[in-house]
A and B are shown apart, each in its own frame.
Chain A
Amino acid sequence: MTFSPELEAQFEKFLAKYPADKKRSAVIPMLVYAQDETHAITQEVIEEVAKRCGVTPLQVDEVVGFYSMLHKKPQGTYHVQVCTNISCLIVGGEEIWNQACHKLGIGHKQTTADGRISLEEVECMGACSWAPAVQVNYDFYHFVTPSQLDKLLDGLSAGKKPDEIAGVKRASC
């Protein structure tokens, strides 16, 4: 399997970070970066990471299955994560979640037919002070209101980049 030169360079960095007999420490970071590029952790990715870290594919598979942020099914270009943990829940997180589901016609860990957006109901993401919070890929959106969510999802569905959508602002943190 081939990765982009940037990713290859990143892998090199990870492997150099750990002692030669502890290469398995690089499994998680490698998976996270590989997922960003391939949008899913396929069997091929698992085998490649296993080979490079000197572990069995099953040992990598164990890690993938354990961590909820590693996905075996392909995610959308934009992975929309809605928090429904306690702080967000109190101030309307669940309504935000339900609205997102209805609007996109998909549910937890599902992807729209055009592959643009995937949805996930997540546990606390550490943004309690700015609840309710939504995360798109690695970007946060704070104090999300139903109308902002509408704009965000409409924009993403229409093929816009998050920064091009008027009326919704990415949190700067």
Chain B
Amino acid sequence: MADLVKFTINGREIEAPAGMLAIEAAKQNGIEIPSFCYYEGYSLQAACRMCLVEVEKMPKMQVACTLPVAAGMVIRTETDQVKLARKSTLEFLLTNHPLDCPVCDKGGECELQDMVFKYGAGESRYVEAKIHVDEQQWSPVVFYDGPRCILCFRCVRACDEGMGVGALGVVNRGAMSLIAPNKGDHLECDECGQCIDICPVGALTSGPYRYLTRPWEMDHIGTICTHCSDGCKTTLGVRNDEIVRGNNRDRSGVNGEFLCVKGRYAFDFNKHAERLQSPMMRVNGKLEEVSWSKALETIANKFGEIRSRGGKFGVIGSNHTTNEENYYLQKFARQGLGTNSIDHHRTGDVVTLVDALSGTTGRLANSADFYERKAVLVIGSDFSVEHPFLAFQARANFRHHEAHIYTVTAEPVREDNYAARSVRVAKGEELGALEGLREALAAEPDLVIVFDDSIKGDKVRSVVEFGQSLGIPVSYCALVDYSNSRGAIDMGLAPEIGPGYHATGQPGMSMNDMLAAADLAALWVVGANPLENAKLAASKAFVVVQDLFLTETAQRADVVLPAASAYEKNGTVTNGRGEVQRLKRASATMGAKTDLEIIGLIAKEMGLAPMMGPWLPETVYAEIRKTVKGYDIPLPLVTIGAQQSTPVNGRVGVESRPDLVRSEHNNLFESGTLGRYSQVLNTVIEGRQSR
């Protein structure tokens, strides 16, 4: 850290590192210097002239956003001259800016409105005609209203520097300047919507959100995105029990203000017309709507009958349901149905990684590591496309800390553009390329190694051995696909391991075994779609499915129960780095129940309620804290921010099963079965092109 220097702002003596920008130093000391174009984390622009301040011995006013502080500097931010300068700047900005605030989406949360309110003039002297250009639609999610733009270039920098996409630019000059998309009349980009979020005015607006509500008429519910395993916090804007917006402007959560297209827009599956709203039962070969009591009774009778005659059960859990639901489900399966045949679709080999790291602590990378460690090695994954938030972290790390990024992939990836070294290998040969990087990696102060399912089974052990032999601190991350993939394995949705990576001793059937077992008596699927690309061998098996939609699996079911989505329930989920975060209910769908409640109701119907305990998320979480190693985290801590769980540090003691691990490698516009029901993911041009 640079030496501290003493200087004064408005007569107050302040200490800050030499070279710190005056605007930042002021902010840290509670002095507001207004600005539009200055944005923490992005390059300096000095375009808006809103942050002019007086500095003693400097003949003219200075822009505080590019002024490094020095010892003895005397800065004044509230003089008459400064106030007049702000007033004039705002008057200029308003010469062309239309005063359509009453119908502008941004009205009420607009930075220009706030600035004019606080610093602006009461009236305008400008009577000439304003320059008008028509509004443009650049994509299903991005609209641009040129006259509203104040040319702060935040969107251009967020897209270019933050996302590494560079889809936005500024064309023309002076008052005629306009923001332009990369394809002339439309955008081809990540469709992440960061540009809309970062726009201080209503120049860039969001397609799905336009004209739906005034900002102050929404409730804001902070919850966790239910798509990929990056586990971003998304704050849902809810009006009349309908989710109308997703963003994270308060920068809470591991992701700060970052969100990709899924977190920002793909909540729309929630109100898809095909959402199930009533239980269904197969009557004369056809699925018909029935009452909850009838459906539950049928399941309880059938499960009870199969259990009493010793029939084979198979239980398949979800990558999207909460930790509480996963825990409750495996408890039901193991203690209620007496089977270890419980599994889920595994998308990364977390089990072997945890085993390979046994005897160590603090070796699992967390979200911050991707931004703070001096080097990141990405193996296999098309990082920006499959894990946009982690890639965003790594990019910011490169920008702010000059971190070295290394990639070992089969195809070119976006990280190549700024990577210290990019190695291209044939698929499956990733491991062999590591030796070639040994010298460079060993010279780094510290390192994060992140890998996808190209590294599984014994290869995971080899990677860990390689990492440990470098002689520098290394932390690891096994990438998984979905919002609670990690929680599913942590909670023991696996035949060979119970909650907290305890070997079960007598492994039950894996998912593949269940589907292949001709004598399977009952299959219970909670929030998964195993029959999407597979057949169920047991033609007579009694199939129960809990899901949001009538998936391929649900179509084969004997009883289908309508489940609530992650945005409709409380509980906790664990992201790909093992960070536990809290889900909060944002809306509800009539007829659907949470999986936790459904499991509880089935248990009650079967007389298992006393053993299972109440189906309240908080109660189940309390049990998880006591039972699952590494999850002894108080709920209030999870509520205020992500808390990394600390899985076992002793041997897991199970046979490694790389054959069960298969990532879907979902890109930015795919999200398993869920993604099929998101209108946004299916309408953006890049989503269609990538299919």
Are A66 and B182 in contact (CB-based, < 8 A)? no
From A43, which residue of chain B is reached at the shortest CB distance?
Answer: B184
Are B173 and A58 in contact (CB-based, < 8 A)? no
Are A65 and B173 in contact (CB-based, < 8 A)? yes
B259 at the interface (CB under 8 A from A): no
B356 at the interface (CB under 8 A from A): no
Contacts of A66 in B (CB 8 A): 171-173
Contacts of B182 in A (CB 8 A): 56-58
Point out which of A57, A58, A59, A66 has the most chain B C-beta atoms below 10 A from its C-beta: A58
B166 at the interface (CB under 8 A from A): yes
Are B166 and A56 in contact (CB-based, < 8 A)? yes
Are A58 and B172 in contact (CB-based, < 8 A)? no
Contacts of B181 in A (CB 8 A): 58
From B166, which residue of chain A is reached at the shortest CB distance?
Answer: A56
Contacts of B173 in A (CB 8 A): 65-66, 68
Are A61 and B180 in contact (CB-based, < 8 A)? yes
Are A62 and B171 in contact (CB-based, < 8 A)? yes
B687 at the interface (CB under 8 A from A): no
Q: How many Å from the CB of B238 to the closest CB on chain A?
A: 36
B545 at the interface (CB under 8 A from A): no
Contacts of A58 in B (CB 8 A): 166-169, 180-182
Q: How many Å from the CB of A51 to the closest CB on chain B?
A: 14
From B168, which residue of chain A is reached at the shortest CB distance?
Answer: A58
B31 at the interface (CB under 8 A from A): no
With A56-B182, A57-B182 as known contacts, state yes or no: A62 contacts B170, CB within 8 Å: yes
Q: How many Å from the CB of B179 to the closest CB on chain A?
A: 10
Q: How many Å from the CB of B48 to the closest CB on chain A?
A: 18
A36-79 near B? 1/0 per residue, CB < 8 Å: 00000000000000000000111101100110100000000000
From A68, which residue of chain B is reached at the shortest CB distance?
Answer: B173
Are B166 and A61 in contact (CB-based, < 8 A)? no
Are A59 and B166 in contact (CB-based, < 8 A)? yes
Q: How many Å from the CB of B252 to the closest CB on chain A?
A: 33
Contacts of B168 in A (CB 8 A): 58
Please report whether the interface of chain A is mostly helix, strand, loop or mixed according to DSSP. helix
Q: How many Å from the CB of B303 to the closest CB on chain A?
A: 59
Q: How far is the CA of A61 from the CA of B182 in the complex (A)?
A: 10
Q: How far is the CA of A62 from the CA of B182 in the complex (A)?
A: 11
A59-117 at interface with B (beta carbon < 8 Å): 59, 61-62, 65-66, 68
From B181, which residue of chain A is reached at the shortest CB distance?
Answer: A58
B200-227 near A? 1/0 per residue, CB < 8 Å: 0000000000000000000000000000
Q: How far is the CA of A68 from the CA of B169 in the complex (A)?
A: 18
Q: How many Å from the CB of B417 to the closest CB on chain A?
A: 10
Q: How far is the CA of A108 from the CA of B172 in the complex (A)?
A: 17
Contacts of B180 in A (CB 8 A): 58, 61-62
Q: How far is the CA of A34 from the CA of B168 in the complex (A)?
A: 25
Q: How far is the CA of A62 from the CA of B168 in the complex (A)?
A: 10
Contacts of A61 in B (CB 8 A): 169, 171, 180
Interface residues on B, range: 10 to 19
Q: How many Å from the CB of A152 to the closest CB on chain B?
A: 30
Q: How far is the CA of A65 from the CA of B180 in the complex (A)?
A: 11
Contacts of B171 in A (CB 8 A): 61-62, 65-66
Q: How far is the CA of A57 from the CA of B171 in the complex (A)?
A: 12
Contacts of B169 in A (CB 8 A): 56, 58-59, 61-62
Q: How many Å from the CB of B164 to the closest CB on chain A?
A: 12
Q: How far is the CA of A172 from the CA of B60 in the complex (A)?
A: 43
Q: How far is the CA of A61 from the CA of B173 in the complex (A)?
A: 12
Q: How far is the CA of A62 from the CA of B172 in the complex (A)?
A: 7
Q: How far is the CA of A137 from the CA of B458 in the complex (A)?
A: 71
Q: How far is the CA of A130 from the CA of B672 in the complex (A)?
A: 73
From A62, which residue of chain B is reached at the shortest CB distance?
Answer: B169
From B170, which residue of chain A is reached at the shortest CB distance?
Answer: A62
Q: How far is the CA of A56 from the CA of B167 in the complex (A)?
A: 9
Contacts of A57 in B (CB 8 A): 182
Contacts of A68 in B (CB 8 A): 173
B179-199 at interface with A (beta carbon < 8 Å): 180-182
Q: How many Å from the CB of B153 to the closest CB on chain A?
A: 11
Q: How far is the CA of A4 from the CA of B180 in the complex (A)?
A: 31
Are B166 and A65 in contact (CB-based, < 8 A)? no
Q: How many Å from the CB of A43 to the closest CB on chain B?
A: 8
Q: How many Å from the CB of A120 to the closest CB on chain B?
A: 15
Contacts of A56 in B (CB 8 A): 166, 169, 182
Q: How many Å from the CB of A66 to the closest CB on chain B?
A: 5
Contacts of B167 in A (CB 8 A): 58
From A64, which residue of chain B is reached at the shortest CB distance?
Answer: B171
Point out which of B167, B168, B170, B181 has the most chain A C-beta atoms below 10 A from its C-beta: B170
From B182, which residue of chain A is reached at the shortest CB distance?
Answer: A58
Q: How many Å from the CB of A70 to the closest CB on chain B?
A: 11
Contacts of B170 in A (CB 8 A): 62, 65
Q: How many Å from the CB of A4 to the closest CB on chain B?
A: 28
Q: How far is the CA of A58 from the CA of B170 in the complex (A)?
A: 8
Q: How far is the CA of A91 from the CA of B180 in the complex (A)?
A: 41
Contacts of A62 in B (CB 8 A): 169-171, 180
Q: How many Å from the CB of B304 to the closest CB on chain A?
A: 65
From A67, which residue of chain B is reached at the shortest CB distance?
Answer: B173
Q: How far is the CA of A68 from the CA of B181 in the complex (A)?
A: 21
Q: How far is the CA of A30 from the CA of B182 in the complex (A)?
A: 21
Q: How many Å from the CB of A109 to the closest CB on chain B?
A: 13
A131-153 at interface with B (beta carbon < 8 Å): none
From A61, which residue of chain B is reached at the shortest CB distance?
Answer: B171
From B173, which residue of chain A is reached at the shortest CB distance?
Answer: A66
From A65, which residue of chain B is reached at the shortest CB distance?
Answer: B171
B583-627 at interface with A (beta carbon < 8 Å): none
Q: How far is the CA of A61 from the CA of B181 in the complex (A)?
A: 11
Q: How many Å from the CB of B661 to the closest CB on chain A?
A: 38
Q: How far is the CA of A48 from the CA of B139 in the complex (A)?
A: 26
Q: How far is the CA of A58 from the CA of B169 in the complex (A)?
A: 6
Q: How many Å from the CB of A136 to the closest CB on chain B?
A: 25
From B178, which residue of chain A is reached at the shortest CB distance?
Answer: A65
Contacts of B166 in A (CB 8 A): 56, 58-59
From B184, which residue of chain A is reached at the shortest CB distance?
Answer: A43
Q: How many Å from the CB of A130 to the closest CB on chain B?
A: 28
From A66, which residue of chain B is reached at the shortest CB distance?
Answer: B173
Q: How far is the CA of A121 from the CA of B162 in the complex (A)?
A: 41
Q: How far is the CA of A138 from the CA of B182 in the complex (A)?
A: 33
Q: How far is the CA of A160 from the CA of B448 in the complex (A)?
A: 71
Q: How many Å from the CB of B242 to the closest CB on chain A?
A: 36
Q: How far is the CA of A102 from the CA of B180 in the complex (A)?
A: 36
Q: How many Å from the CB of B140 to the closest CB on chain A?
A: 20
From A56, which residue of chain B is reached at the shortest CB distance?
Answer: B166
Closest 7 CB pairs of A and B: A65-B171, A58-B169, A65-B172, A62-B169, A58-B182, A66-B173, A56-B166
Given A57-B182, A62-B171, A62-B180, list of 12 further CB < 8 A pairs?
Answer: A58-B167, A58-B168, A58-B182, A59-B166, A61-B169, A61-B171, A62-B169, A65-B170, A65-B171, A66-B172, A66-B173, A68-B173
| Chain B interfacial positions (CB closer than 8 Å to A) | 166-173, 180-182
25 A-B pairs with CB atoms under 8 Å apart are A56-B166, A56-B182, A57-B182, A58-B166, A58-B167, A58-B168, A58-B169, A58-B180, A58-B181, A58-B182, A59-B166, A61-B169, A61-B171, A61-B180, A62-B169, A62-B170, A62-B171, A62-B180, A65-B170, A65-B172, A65-B173, A66-B171, A66-B172, A66-B173, A68-B173
